[in-house]
Every structure is written in structure tokens, then in C-alpha cells.
Structure 1
Amino acid sequence: MKYLLYLFSIVLFAKGCGETSAETETTKSAQDDISIIYEASSRGFYQKIQLSKEEISIPKDRNANLVLRKTCSKADWNEVVQLLDKIDGEKLGETSANEEDFARDAAIPATLTIKYKDKTVTSKTFSHENPPTTLAPLVAKLQAMAKAVENQ
């Protein structure tokens, strides 16, 4: 997980410093290997958002019979990378939701998965309506991007 944090730091700091072409290529290739999956599901609700540097895709049902796709803008991707840099991979597994809420359908369970090359970090289940404070800005950005895709 620390490796993931170092990667995000390198991506962010390399942008602000005077970069050489080798540093630029390393940063670009590192960003190409990042993908994010947000999934929230209950009996009557389903949302899955898959994001990479190239595109955002939103399956409209659990079987992915219809998938909406849109190219991810450079500005949106840069904002997502900045938000990822603020997330501590060690604390990604913490949850702020009460497990009893999931048992009685008081909250929609959601998870966030961040993949980098062959490494995968998945959060513990949290409430779709009330994500942990560390994940809230990223989840809000993902949902805003998904809404823009659905409204196109």
C-alpha cells in the first residue's frame, strides 16, 4: 500500500517541479496503469463506476447488458489523481458505517477499489450516502462524472 502512496506522490510532485522528459514519461506511464472501481449495491439500487485515464464506464444493470462510456477529460483525470494523492492506502480499509445498518437496509453498502498494475487495494464496505471523510471527495467526484455521462 505504501508503494501506491509513493506512486501518487510522484505523480503529483512531478507535475509541479521542473520535469525532464524521462520524468514526464514515467509519470505518464504510471497514470496509464491506474484504474478505479466504485460499486454500490443493494436490493433496489445498483451503481458501478469504472474509471481509467482513457474513459469512464457505467454499466446500467448488474449484468452489464448496457454500458455507457465516455472519454475521460484531462482536467477530470488530473483532479482524480490529486484526490487519490490525499488518500492513505493504509487507512483505506477503515470504515465509518455501522454494520447493523447494512443488515437492515438502512444504508447502501459501497466499496472503492484502486488498481495499479498488479496491485489492488479495496476499501472495507462503507455507506454509499455517507462515505468516510478521507474518501468523500473522490466518491463525490466519481459520482459527478458518472452523472455527466448518464446525462449526455
Structure 2
Amino acid sequence: MKNTTVEYSAMSRGFYLNINVHDDKLSIVDKRDGTPREYILTNADWKALADLYKTIKPEELPTYKDPTQKRFYDGAAIASLRIIYDGKTYETTSFDHGFPPKEIEAFVNKIVSFATP
């Protein structure tokens, strides 16, 4: 994951979350126009995230199917995952926050866990 930026975002009318991971640095914004909280990931968290990242094929992100469509009726926030690597950007189609495509579920859940107190 060195030299890779991972961005996870989820938003609805009453919810906002943006998590940015670059190298071992983590930035979390949980309010619109909020100030980012920045952290350095522990070695254990960095290794766990990097191991999950190895299972992802960035070029396939746009092809992953969303398992639920709760966001269509305000049942879930609209989420997406973006990976920027080697000058290229790879992004999922939108999916429900809390219900990522199965191919990236463990990776997304690990990223979101950093924002949970």
C-alpha cells in the first residue's frame, strides 16, 4: 500500500464520513466542512490493512455489485471506495454504507473501524 491513497466516503442528508489513508497516515472527517482528525496507524493496524489490500484488484472495483439498495430510499448512506495508485484512479460504483460489495467487504469494514470510537 505504499504510495497508494485510499478514500472511503459515505454521506446522506444527516450523515457524513470521509476516511483517507495514505501510507501509514489516516485522516477522518465526520462532519460536513469538518476539520480532519489525523492519526498515524499502528504497525499492527497498518499490516492488517495492507494484508486486506492485497486481496483487492483495483481495476475490478467498478464491476463489483452492491448487495443492497437501501440508499435509494434513505435506508443507508451512499458510500464509495476510491483507490489512487501509480497515477490512476479506481473507484467503485455507489453502494450502501455498512453493506459493501463482498469482494471488498473486509477491507472497507477495516477502514470504517478506524472511525468508530
TM bin, normalised by shorter chain, reads 0.7 to 0.9
Corresponding residue to 1:53 among 16, 19, 23: 23
Structure-2 residue corresponding to 1:5:
none
Judging changes above 3 Å, is the alpha-carbon distance between structure 1 residues 103 and 144 closer, same or farther for their aligned structure 2 residues? Answer: closer
Q: Distance in 1 between matches of 2:24 and 2:98?
A: 27
Q: Distance in 1 between matches of 2:29 and 2:76?
A: 21
**SS class of match (2:38):** strand
Displacement of 1:68 after TM fit? Answer: 0.9
Is 1:40 equivalent to 2:10 in the alignment?
Answer: yes
* Matched letter for residue 95 of structure 1: K
Task: Decide whether the 8 Å contact of 1:53 with 1:72 is kept in 2.
Answer: no
Is 1:124 equivalent to 2:67 in the alignment?
Answer: no
Q: Distance in 1 between matches of 2:110 and 2:36?
A: 19
| TM-score, length-scaled by structure 1 | 0.68
Q: Distance in 2 between matches of 1:60 and 1:38?
A: 12
**SS class of match (1:81):** helix
Runs of 4+ in 1 over 2 A off after TM superposition: 88-91
Q: Larger % of strand: which?
A: 2
Is 1:141 equivalent to 2:110 in the alignment?
Answer: yes
For residues 64-79 of structure 1, what are the structure 2 equivalents within 5 Å? 64=34, 66-79=35-48
Larger radius of gyration: 1
Q: Can you give the 5+ residue segments of structure 1 that lack an aligned partner in the other structure?
A: 1-30
Count of residue correspondences: 116
Q: Distance in 2 between matches of 1:116 and 1:90?
A: 10
Q: Distance in 1 between matches of 2:52 and 2:24?
A: 17
Displacement of 1:98 after TM fit? Answer: 5.0
**SS class of match (2:74):** coil
| TM-score, length-scaled by structure 2 | 0.87
RMSD, aligned α-carbons: 1.7
